[in-house]
Amino acid sequence: MAPDSPALVVLAGPTAAGKTALSLRLAREHDAEIVGADSVQVYRGLDIGSAKPTAQERAQAPHHLIDVADPAEGFSAARYAEMAGEAIAEIHARGKKALVVGGTGLYIKALLWGLVPAPPVDPALRQELGVQWEAEGPEAMHQRLAAKDPAAAARLHPNDRQRVLRALEVCLQTGRPFSEQLKRHQKDQPRYQHLIIGLERLREELNQRIELRARAMWDGGLLEEVAGLIKTGTPPESPGLASLGYRQARAALSGRMQPDDALFDMIKATKAYAKRQLTWFRGVEGLHWHHADDHEGVSRRVAGFWS
């Protein structure tokens, strides 16, 4: 870590915890600019289902790493870390502070510690695993990963084909759990001085917020948003439209699911995702947990770090 590296505050936590409102307060109090760390908000046009900050909210503080990619293209953690690093350098050069806000743990870890050194892709192994995925199905492949690396399987959804297969691929190539390599890598010297704050709520409270927000997205035009993207040329199988909420909307639009069933699936999947997010962040050393409504406590902690 360079002696003059920017001092970052990271505001993390599960979906629907309430990160946006608190981030705007912190940005106002500390003359900070917000750097998003959300794997769906990076996509242009994916506004409703990603709970992207509104135009009014973005007018209250400069936001970065939002609307930087087309939904049809993949967006990796490596690309995120590079673009976020550039944004942070520019913010620092202007004499401002950088506040990283989001719930995508892999993006945050890539930014703070860089990516875990991993063996290069073995095309033959990757093809073999892909064939097995199609033949055996997501659940079977996820169970294979759980047998080799329970910690990695616990934080990955069985339908997350790319990450499940990559974790399994690394396990097979190295003979060691991928999660161990992640944990060891986190102990390395960070790229930035930083304070990580995690926002949490009681499980019942968080689940209620998730359900209310999902229904608001559904009633607020999520289906129409997806239909409009497809109509204007975004392929239905695009990476952006495979994300949570958007894949359920696609299923409803295509007739593969009834709208009520798709909404129920979205709520169920979002609750499961929030649980995995909490598991991920609880494995981050040095993270300070606060109840999501403890704005005063968070503000004091941030002020002490940036003073």
Read off the pLDDT of residues 247-290 as tens digits, 9 standing for 90 and up.
999 999 999 999 999 999 999 999 999 999 999 999 898 999 99
Q: What integer is the mean pLDDT of 214-224? A: 98
Q: Are residues 206 and 100 part of one domain?
A: yes
What letter would DSSP give residue 167? Answer: H
Report the alpha-carbon distance of residue 171 to residue 185 in Å, rounded. Answer: 16
Residue with the two structure tokens 């009834």: 258
Residue pair 113/192 in contact by the 8 Å Cβ criterion: no
Q: What is the pLDDT of residues 47-56, one digit of tens each?
A: 999 999 999 9
Residue 73 inside a domain? The answer is yes
From the list 150, 133, 152, the residue with the least C-alpha distance to 141 is 133
Q: Cα 3 from chain centroid?
A: 29
Residue 160 inside a domain? The answer is yes
The whole domain housing 90 covers: 7-114+191-306
Q: Are residues 250 and 104 part of one domain?
A: yes
Task: Read off the pLDDT band of 174 (50, 70, 90).
Answer: confident
pLDDT at position 162 is 80
Q: Are residues 214 and 103 part of one domain?
A: yes
Which of 159, 182, 205 finishes a domain? 182
Q: % helix / strand / coil in the chain, to the nearest 5?
A: 55, 10, 35
Q: How many domains does the chain have?
A: 2
Strand partners, 34: 63, 99
Q: What is the pLDDT of residues 97-149, one digit of tens each?
A: 999 999 999 999 999 998 876 777 788 898 899 889 989 998 999 999 999 99
Q: Are residues 224 and 76 part of one domain?
A: yes
Which of 163, 182, 201 finishes a domain? 182
Residue 298 inside a domain? The answer is yes
CATH number at residue 299: 3.40.50.300
Q: Which of 31-35, 72-76, 212-216 is the least confident region? A: 72-76
Q: Are residues 228 and 144 part of one domain?
A: no
**pTM for the model:** 0.82
Q: What integer is the mean pLDDT of 36-50? A: 97
Hey, is 98 helix, strand or coil? strand
pLDDT at position 246 is 97
**Cα four-point dihedral sign 53, 57, 58, 62:** negative
Task: Read off the pLDDT band of 180 (50, 70, 90).
Answer: confident
Residue 169 inside a domain? The answer is yes
Residue 1 inside a domain? The answer is no
pLDDT at 185 over 80: no
